[in-house]
C-alpha cells in the first residue's frame, strides 16, 4: 500500500516521520514525503500518522 503527502498542505512538523519512519521522511524542502510502500505490519503506524497530522496532509490508497 502507498501513502501520499500533499506537499502544499504539509507544514513540516515532522510528526509522521517519527510515527512511521519506515514510510515517511523529510525531503529537501523540509516537507514530509512517503518514500516507501507499506504492508499490513505498517498499517497501524500509517493510520496513526494520518490521524496525528495537524493539517490532514496525508492520504493513502
Ligand atoms: S505530520 Fe503532516 S504536517 Fe507534519 S510533517 Fe507529516 S505530513 Fe507534514
The domain segmentation of the chain, as residue ranges, is 3-60
pLDDT for position 28: 98
Ligand 1 site residues (CB inside 6 A) read: 5, 10-16, 32, 53-55, 57-58
- CATH number for the domain running over 3-60: 3.30.70.20
Maximum Cα interatomic distance, the chain, rounded to a whole number of Å: 29
Question: 54 CA distance to ligand 1 centroid (A)?
Answer: 7
What is the grid cell recorded at 5? 503527502
DSSP state of 36: S
Nearest residue by C-alpha to atom 4 in ligand 1: 13
What is the grid cell recorded at 41? 505490519
Nearest to 32 by CA among 46, 44, 14: 14
pTM recorded for the entire structure:
0.96
Q: Is pLDDT at 42 greater than 90 in this prediction?
A: yes
Q: Per-residue pLDDT tens for 18-27?
A: 999 999 999 9
Distances (CA, A) of 34 to 19, 37, 50, 55: 12, 8, 12, 16
Amino acid at each position: 500500500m502507498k501513502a501520499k503527502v500533499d506537499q502544499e498542505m504539509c507544514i513540516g512538523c515532522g510528526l509522521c516521520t517519527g510515527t512511521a519512519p519506515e514510510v515517511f521522511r523529510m525531503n529537501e524542502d523540509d516537507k514530509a514525503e512517503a518514500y516507501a510502500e507499506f504492508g499490513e505490519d505498517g498499517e497501524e503506524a500509517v493510520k496513526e500518522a494520518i490521524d496525528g497530522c495537524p493539517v490532514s496532509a496525508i492520504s493513502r490508497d
